[in-house]
């Protein structure tokens, strides 16, 4: 997965696509912002009021407790 390819896509669209690919996909909404977390890939997407993904974070942790980052 290339996170750059998800920018400017609807967060719901990405959620529906990834829920069939990854075993864990977490969606949350806080006030106007929406968040989509894919722990196995270490990716966390964020969208604002319009629902389009505008940012993402990539988590890389050296020790146990987090999934290994896989970009494909």
| pLDDT 10s digits, 1-29 | 789 999 999 999 999 999 999 999 999 99
Say if residue 34 is exposed, middle or buried (CB neighbours under 10 Å; 0-12, 13-18, 19+): buried
Mean pLDDT throughout 46-67?
82
| Reported pTM | 0.75
Domain residue spans in the chain?
1-56
CB 14 within 8 Å of CB 6: yes
At 29-42, the pLDDT tens digits run 999 899 999 988 88
């Amino acid at each position: 997965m290339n996170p750059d390819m998800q920018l400017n896509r609807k967060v719901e669209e990405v959620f529906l696509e990834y829920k069939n690919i990854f075993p864990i996909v977490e969606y949350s909404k806080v006030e106007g912002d929406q968040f989509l977390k894919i722990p196995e890939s270490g990716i966390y997407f964020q969208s604002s009021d319009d629902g389009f993904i505008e940012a993402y974070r990539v988590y890389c942790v050296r020790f146990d407790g987090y999934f290994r980052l896989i970009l494909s």
